[in-house]
Structure 1
């Protein structure tokens, strides 16, 4: 799959990763593996802001692309939801939405066409309420 969007940055910066806080790290990792096909490559325990954390990082889906990390504060009962939106591109949006619902996620709005951007788009909410925007390119 190729990405038609332009790329680049100023000041030599590279966008490299995003982290989403979750409550049940293992369950959410299984969701992202089964729905989005992400492949974990690192699990790390450490401290952040004086709080113990556990995190799972997934490998980039293409060379040089960003990686997603799911992270949990070990002293927390609930993550904040709606704190981020992860973006994914797929070749079959309908199949991805089906996988998401089978894995316990929800699709709160129907898939819609956005002709001006040449895409179909859906929002996939994982079982903990985190929002993922998923697009399928329709324009050549």
Structure 2
């Protein structure tokens, strides 16, 4: 089937993934797998804004397509339902962070490298406070 929607972006950006905050990661994983047929790709523990997180990323449903990640704070309450993290891939993470701050956004934590996934990452906050995770793949 041919997709009639136009495609494209500026500055080499690619929308790659979305993260949805959940309260009970294992229960929600079962729901998304059993009801929506998603296939887990990996599970990863890390930190976001100084808080421990646990997340499960699902395979894209088609080659090159975006992926969904379910994410939970290890301790404490999740954000209100409806908040999500959009994911983008870039070839120049430093330039994206500079554009974000120049446009009234924020990059609250320094760019960091995540060698086990072969990437650099930064969280870009838009002027209303919404979270965008931007990654740059490392060329090793």
Question: Scaled by the length of structure 1, what TM-score is found?
Answer: 0.56
What residue is the counterpart of 1:116 in the other structure?
A: none
Runs of 4+ in structure 1 over 6 Å off = none
SS at match of 1:3: coil
| Structure 2, unaligned runs of 5 or more | 87-140
What residue is the counterpart of 1:50 in the other structure?
A: 50
1:6 to partner: Cα distance = 1.4
What residue is the counterpart of 1:127 in the other structure?
A: none
Q: How many residues align?
A: 86
CA contact (8 A) 1:23 1:76 kept: no
For 2:3 and 2:61, locate their aligned partners in 1 and report how far apart those are by CA, in whole Å: 12
Q: Over the residues paired in the alignment, what is the CA RMSD in angstroms?
A: 2.0
| Structure 1, unaligned runs of 5 or more | 87-140
What residue is the counterpart of 2:125 in the other structure?
A: none
CA contact (8 A) 1:53 1:73 kept: yes
What residue is the counterpart of 1:77 in the other structure?
A: 77
Question: Scaled by the length of structure 2, what TM-score is found?
Answer: 0.56
